Structure formats: C-alpha cells, structure tokens
Chains A and B, each alone.
Chain A
C-alpha cells in the first residue's frame, strides 16, 4: 500500500470509561469528545501536541453519547442517556450551559445541527426523531416529533447544504426527512442493511450517503431524480463487504479529499479511496490504509478534520482518542 495511517498522538481522554464520540469544530482547531464519565472534553493544539482545554461536567446525569458543534462554532450540543440534550455556549475560552432540551422519553442517542444553524435534530431510544428550531434569543422550540422508525434511533445527520435530515436505526433502516407544511415527514426509507445501522455520513456535495452497520458492511446510497410525488429516490450503489471483522460503528467521509474512514468493533480504523474513473452508478472503493489494532478495544467513532486534509481522529471503548495522519504518497 502506498498510503498509510500514521499515529500523531494518543490521548487518554476519558480514563476508566468509554469515549463514545469525537467532533471537530467547524474551523478544525478544537476537538470535542464525550464519554461514559458524563463529561465533555475540549481538546486544542498547543505547540505540537493536543491537550485538554476544557472539561464540561455537571451538564448530564448519565453517559454523554454524542456531541455536535453548531456551524458557527459558538455552540456545542451534547446528547445524553439522561434523556436530555444540553446546549453549551462558547464564551472566550470557556463554555457555559445555555439550555437543556427535554422531551425525549429516554436515552438521547444523537444530536446534529442543520447547516443553517437554525435547526437541531435529536434522536432517541424512544424511536423518535425531534427537530428543534432555534430563534434569535437562543430559545429552542420543538417543531416536530417524527416516529418513522420502529426501534431505537441511533444517529441523525443533516445534508451539507439542504434542509434534509437522515436517521439510522436499530430497525435496520435509514429514513430521510423533509419539511412539509411546518411538519417534518419521512420521504424515503432506505432498506438494505440486515442489522442495526449505526451511523451515516453525506459526501461533500450531498449527492451520496454512506451508512455503516452491525451487518459488517458499509453501503453507499445515491440520490436519483424522484419518479413521482414528493418522495425522494435514493438507491444503494455500492456495498463494502468483507473488510470489517465486526460491527462498523461509524463512517466519516472527508469533505476535502473524499476518503472514507470507518470505525469498527474489531478495533481497527480503515480508510477507503474511491476509484474516480468508475461509473458513478457503480462506484468502486478500495481499502487504502488500515491500522488493525488502532485501539485495544472497539473503535466507536472516526472523524476527519474539516480543514486539515488527512487529519483523522478516532476514539474507543478504552477511553482513548487517537489522532492519525492519512498520507497519500504520490
């Protein structure tokens, strides 16, 4: 392999606990992590190394499952098993808890900001997806509760440019939602995975969606012109199977290079590259690099830095964060 993943730094981020998720700030300078220790940590670079800048605690009573930065980078949202979502506001170098969004019946599994920054989506084990509207006074109001899944909803993600929301569930399906007369409605159900869909990621243009699953595969879905009516048409154009030994927990599509990274229960981090000469209806991805034992336990999340090409963060059940550099040797 010409390409390689080299370790930049390993951080004991949430000692004696799990590190569930990492998220880069929109300008790529900060990395937020969250874990089973109920805290959120903010990491920044000083000199050549990444250090912990802030610890956000007392916001949640239970595990913090996901964190998400607002598009402006001034707010951070955290989803917790305590059934709430916290909104934190960045003030100088500190973060203060701005508001707590209540309403889900139980564990909130994911939170995501829409590209406009005016909408926030959350999902929960209660099988519902909620969309919240943010007004000028930093007030949050639930505008919709959608129950299109029959099981635990694991992940929500917004389209990079449109107000299109996608969710992944324990019911093996992916749902796509659009606003219709003030209410959000499921416009497409993507069926194909044979087990829990854990995570989703759009490509930079938003024409394709990558999904990863407990069925050990990654699927690439592509939008096609709708045949009729308001429903959207997304079809699976590629399935990456045979690469992952266990559940694929996360997938990240680099918005700068198009490289696709995966986090897997077999402790490995993998990077796939697309053959750009292939027919767009039948894309071809090949394994470009992998670190078999990236962590000594399940890898829960991978995330490409949005500004620095090739910089990848991963985190694991062992509480660690690892920062990698993906090098393409020409």
Chain B
C-alpha cells in the first residue's frame, strides 16, 4: 500500500512538474510575445499614423494658405471659398489623431476628403492636382 501511495505521489509530482514547466514556459513566452507585439504594433501604428497625419496635415497647409490668399477679397465668390476653407480647417482641428481605433476617425477622414474635394472644385484647381496628393497616398506600407 505504501508503495502504491508513493507511486501516486510520484505520478502527481511528475504531472505537477510538467505543468510547472509548461506554465513557466508560458510566462516567459507571454512576456516575450507581449514585447514583440508591442513593438510590431508600434511599428505598424507608426506607419499608419504617419500616413494619415501626413494627409491631414497636407489638407491643413493647403487650406490655410488659400485662406490667407483669399481672405482679403470681398467678392461673393471669394467669401464662399473662404467659408468652405474655414469649414475644412475646423474639421481638421476637431479630428484629433489620438485614437486609431475609433470609428469617428474613419468618418472624419471620409468627411475631410469630401470637403477637400469640394474646396478643390471651388478653387478650380486643375484635376491633375490629384497627383500631388497621391504622393502621400502612395506611401502605403
């Protein structure tokens, strides 16, 4: 009987040991994986953030320059254009790039792109102007 019991204990301790080995490996792996995930995610996030911010910043620079050019004109057409530019600038300022997961950011970007297209149309910017934007859009990763 005593032998049997010892065998049981032994068996338990083997299973227990294996479990511990597994847990230990898992813990180390988890730590490693977490660091790796953090880094990979960070790198991909950086690319994505850079691209989106670049596009949004481009719209900002473009709009603010045109606003400076047009804001002293008093004709109705310029007034309308300045108003559209101001709307675009306001939209950019209210679209912070702090949460890439938010649906709002995606919606905001869609609206921004639409407004930018309207502004271009109002400014009679040549259609091939798109080529200059595509430089930014082409920077895909």
Contact = CB atoms under 8 A, between A and B. Distances in A.
Interface in B89-139: 110-111, 114-115, 117-118, 120-122, 127
Interface stretch (A10-18, A53-61, A110-118, A144-152): A144-152
Name the prevailing secondary structure of the B interface residues. Answer: helix
A146 B117 CA distance: 11
A130 B121 CA distance: 11
A32 to B, nearest CB: 25
B37 to A, nearest CB: 31
B83 interface: yes
Interface residues of B, number: 14
Interface string A149-192: 00000000000000000000000000000000011000000000
A147 B118 contact: no
Contact of B114 (A102, A128, A141, A182): A128
Residue among B83, B120, B121 with the most chain A CB within 10 A?
Answer: B121
A300 B111 CA distance: 32
B122 A141 contact: yes
A142 interface: yes
B27 interface: no
Contact of A102 (B77, B115, B127): B127
Contacts of A145: 114-115, 117-118
Contacts of A275: none
Contact of A182 (B83, B115, B117, B127): B83
A105 interface: yes
A51 B58 CA distance: 53
A317 B115 CA distance: 36
Contact of A141 (B80, B110, B111): B80
A102 to B, nearest CB: 5
Nearest to A128: B114
Given A141-B77, A141-B80, A182-B83, A147 B121 contact: no
9 contacts: A102-B121, A103-B121, A128-B114, A141-B122, A142-B122, A143-B80, A145-B118, A147-B111, A182-B80
